[in-house]
Structure 1
Amino acid sequence: MADRNFSATRIPGFAAIAIAAFVILYLPIFTLVIYAFNAGQSIAVWEGVSLHWFARAWDNEAVKSATLRSLVIAVSASAIATSVATMAALGTTRRPNFRGQTFIYVMINQPLMVPEIVTAVALLIFFGVVKQATGYQGLGYLILAHTAFCIPFAYLPIRARLEGMDLSLETAAADLYASDWQTFRYVTLPLLFPGIIAGAMLAFVISLDDVVITEFVKAGGQDTLPTYMLGQMRRAITPEVNAISTGLLALTVVLLTAFFLLTRKKG
């Protein structure tokens, strides 16, 4: 008979393996953050504490331009992806099971299962054809590419929220002669709103941090902050890159913390 009180934490060596995993994962990040405050030019030799590199990054016009471009793309892509994901979640959860439902789930979550490099190459080929046909070279391609990649990340928390919602309130609204739109506007949407916000924040973080798809889709002069940093790493590396990384890390941590607080179960 299986032990119902079994706990993985009591397995010999569990604590040591867990600590080692955390050290391997986070020690390089902590090192990067520490050296962002290095006063010297070297990224490996400590020469004192200074905010010089943060000030230098703040005054760097290329960093400002790349940051603004990243924010425009991330906000646009997350807004579109969240809207599409919300409609997809409503269409796959607020109705009886139907033939092809599993296939639809697979197609929505396809970017999560396919290696990102494959998605990037496919988008590169597709947008190449569109560029030749239209002549358009703007940021729209990056926004659409990020949107396609972010939809499943927004879909999962929204769908999870819907599946955890009690249908009785929506049924009661229908019994009180509320239209479908009124039921959605005054009952479903307020209850679903935390899931929508969580999905939007997750999509925003994924878009903001993306490198692979951006590298393949972007045109000349369309560097985002991550691709700008990648380009700097190929040249002379200074603690300025560490400072930019620290700022990006701080923003990501704030958003992911908010995502966790919105999606955790209360009680």
Structure 2
Amino acid sequence: MCRPTHFDVTYAINPWMDPAKPVDTDLAVAQWERLHALYGELGHRVDLIDPLPGLPDMVYAANGATVVDGRVLGARFRNTERAAEGPAYLEWFRARGFETRDPEYVNEGEGDLLTTASYVLAGRGFRSVADGHAEAQEFFGRPVVGLELVDPRFYHLDTALAVLDGDEIMYNPEAFSAGSRAVLRRLFPDALLADRADAEVFGLNAISDGLHVVLPEAAVGLASRLRERGFRPIGMDLSELLKGGGSVKCCTLEIRATA
């Protein structure tokens, strides 16, 4: 995770960002600190990367890299405003002895690369590109399934789909092309489908440890359906960070150390 010390909205690279709207950085830090504390309360270890001045979106750690089986594929951002984040995150992992790869093609980390038990699901259409998907497959040695995003509000895969446990996922069908919806139905016939109301409050930008699902507190319908499936949803208020187009998952880069 990365503390939002320098968080602000000074440019617009997704539909959620509006530089004309004031940002309360202190409130963003307080909301982030509650999420950070919650992970500790749930028994998870959290490592921190130092925030760098001039990189207001560095708080969205999920975009910084993808880690599978202890191997780290760095991020290459489409937008110049975030370009320096990729090298900063990759250097953090190199300094701690991880095997790393500096990417050749655009991929925006776990924003667009989500790992299930059987696949790496890879979003494209707004940020990451198909060549970046192929690069991930060669590096990780896992089958990568490309999914086309069609709604600019859900510009990253992690705003439209979340991995719950193993090969169990939840997603918003309206965020995907017809062909990608067909692929998801085939691969995940028992997936939990989010409705428009929960998707629009970023309910799918969630983190699950297989039991607890941390998600935006406004996604009340999704929380109810998760309980019906035996999960324990925990709602969080990250409304200030949503002004930059991110929530729980965006703030959290998962480090998968082993196969």
**Superposed pair shares fold, TM > 0.5:** no
Q: Which of the two has higher C-alpha Rg?
A: 1
TM-score, structure 2 as length reference? 0.25
Which of 1 and 2 has higher RCO (CA within 8 Å, sep 6+)?
1
Q: Larger % of strand: which?
A: 2
TM-score, structure 1 as length reference? 0.25
